[in-house]
Structure 1
Amino acid sequence: MDGGDDHELLEKHNVNVVGFGEQHIVLSHGFGLDQSVWKYVVPHLVDDFRVILYDNMGAGTTNPDCFDFQRHSTIEAYAFDLITILDTLNITSCIYVGHSFSCLVGAIASIHRPQLFTKFVFMGASPRYLNDVDYNGGFTSEELEQIFSAMRDNYKAWCTGFASLAVGGDFNSWAVQEFSRTMFNMRPDIALCVAQTIFKCDLRSMLGMVTVPCHILHSRKDLAIPFEVSEYLHRHLGGKSVVEIMDTEGHLPQLSSPDIAIPMLLRHIRQNIAS
């Protein structure tokens, strides 16, 4: 890849690199969001880390013409996007902080290139959202189809309701308004494709191949993901892991409860898992 192609790739994902530390840390956002979800986190990191921020393809900040409906129908596509970004930046080792579906993006990337990652910090992670025998993912197949149908029928109205439920706050709260804003920015057909890719995925069989040490953070009450999913991850990941339940509500605690979530997130970024 020549210099022009490098620049085009980084521009396509709105890659930003800030900070002054020698160690790299990647912040990756979840569905319906963009890198702005980390706005309260970044100031605490820039003195000690080189912070890499980027937007997953399909986010409202990316060019919708660059979204490949066939390619991005699997989580693996986002994982290879991540690997390509890191390679383009000549990053050979990083701490990876993932939120929501981006947790599994990092996990899959590590199966292909484990040496790229020294540690994971996952917030609101799930390998499967659909209930199964002896597994509570949070949704029935009927509930997921209702979500997809509502997105098709009236995307803006769906965003308004989903934002409030996911954040766990009043619609007039700043966090709900912010999540609504970033979801509104997504093109509806792209949002539906991404949602179907995420909510229909089942990556449980891959967890044993993930050997990077993992810090798992989870809200005590999260409409999207039951807290027992974090224990499932802890039991099935192939490397060392630790779980901590945050005394927060909602799927975006870094926005809705930054006073609680951010200190805990920073502590796990800086600490290693005890042997």
Structure 2
Amino acid sequence: MGILEEAHNLKIIGSGERVIVLAHGFGTDQSVWKHLVPHLIDDFRILLFDNMGAGPTNPDFFDFSRYATLDGYAFDVLAILEELRIGSCIFVGHSVSAIIGAIASVSRPDLFDKIIMISASPRYLNDLDYYGGFEQEDLDQLFEAMRSNYESWCSGFAPLAVGGDMESLAVQEFSRTLFNMRPDIALSIAQTIFGSDYRNLLSHITVPCHVIQSMKDLAVPVVVSEYIHQNLGGESIVEVMSTEGHLPQLSSPDVVVPVLLRHIRLDIVL
């Protein structure tokens, strides 16, 4: 096993000519796709990996300067595709990974047949004429809570993000993957994500995009999905699901899996 495979816990499963890349968001790992994978395995080759800094990755590999922007993660995606000699893929990105995939697609659009964005946001901070859902004071409080008592923050953040109580299996699963992250790395990644602004990138994205969003999401207001749709440089469609929470593929798989399967198989016709 090469360094890249080991660092990202790369896994290719399934059969078929088309490749689907499943990329997870903050606080999770590749296990977040457990409800979707069984529905793809007979028809597609599936590439699963862990973003650097996720719980199952070796924290010694985490470079704080490289991952101070999302570009570092985008370089990782391109390196993985090159290493595995994947000439084209359907990229399914959850949360921050939707933007990471978009960044990667700007420099290498030939590698991406389409990008399916779930719970994506180009900017989390509110701005003039833009509603991202957070004020700077909100983020400062979030970072301070992570810094002062990470375990306590995880316990409080998980049910808010997922949209359920602590008895929920989805909340317990997200709590587990959050706890698995090293606290200083988790804080650094959170600061990178919540401090990012990729609105100007949207017009440079030419790969077809499917923008999928929960009706109610603590981290991403539903208006953000329409903002992305209106500002993308290429073809796009948007679908708002009747789900709640930022991790609908984990909390509402009965709703989300059929939606994702439809978008995976759907080519945009405008």
User: Do the structures match in fold with TM over 0.5?
Assistant: yes
| Equivalence for 1:79 | 74
- Name the counterpart of 1:35: 30
What residue identity is the alignment partner of 2:175? Answer: S
* 1:131-172 deviation line (CA, Å, top 9, x unaligned): 001111010000000000000000000001110000000111
Question: So what's the TM-score if we normalise by structure 2?
Answer: 0.99
3-state SS, counterpart of residue 160 of structure 1: helix
CA distance in 2, matches of 1:136, 1:160: 27
C-alpha separation in 2, matches of 1:9 and 1:264: 32
Matches of 2:167 and 2:134, distance apart in 1: 26
Q: Give distance in 2, aligned partners of 1:31 and 1:100.
A: 7
Tell me, in whole angstroms, the C-alpha distance in 2 between the residues paired with 1:170 and 1:127.
28
**Counterpart residue identity of residue 97, structure 1:** V
Of 41, 47, 53, which aligns to 2:42?
Answer: 47
Partner of 1:248: 243
String of CA shifts for 1:44-102, please: whole Å, max 9, x gaps. 00111000000000000000000000111100000000000000000010000000000
Stretches of structure 2 lacking an aligned partner (at least 5 in a row): none
Equivalent in the alignment of 1:24: 19
Equivalent pairs: percent with the same residue?
Answer: 64
Q: Structure 2 CA distance, aligned partners of 1:56 and 1:128?
A: 20
Match of 1:100 in 2: 95
Q: Which runs of 4+ in 1 moved over 4 A?
A: none
The letter of the residue matching 1:46 is: I
Counterpart in the other structure of 1:270:
265
| Distance (whole Å) between structure 2 residues aligned to residue 160 and residue 82 of structure 1 | 30
Number of residue-to-residue matches in the alignment: 270
Aligned-partner Cα distance in 2 for 1:190–1:172: 27
Q: Which structure 2 residues correspond to residues 192-231 of structure 1 after superposition, within 5 A?
A: 192-231=187-226
C-alpha distance in 2 between matches for 1:161 and 1:237: 34
Match of 1:151 in 2: 146
Partner Cα separation in structure 1 for residue 18 and residue 175 of structure 2: 33
AA partner of residue 82 (structure 1): V
- Please give the alpha-carbon distance, in whole angstroms, between the structure 1 residues aligned to 2:38 and 2:134: 36
Q: Which amino acid aligns with 1:40?
A: H
Q: Give the distance between the partners of 1:41 and 1:85, measured in 2 at CA.
A: 21
Match of 2:177 in 1: 182
**Residue of 121, 126, 129 corresponding to 1:126:** 121
Question: Which of 242, 252, 255 is the matching residue for 1:257?
Answer: 252
Aligned to 1:10, which of 5, 12, 15?
Answer: 5
Q: Deviations over 1:246-269 (max 9, x none)?
A: 000000111100000110011000
Q: After TM superposition, give the deviation of residue 28 of structure 1 in Å.
A: 0.0
- Do structure 1's residue 239 and structure 2's residue 237 form an aligned pair? no
Paired with 1:230 and 1:251, the residues of 2 have a C-alpha distance of 13
Distance in 2, Cα, partners of 1:66 & 1:172: 34
Shift of 1:32: 0.3
Q: Which residue is equivalent to 2:135?
A: 140
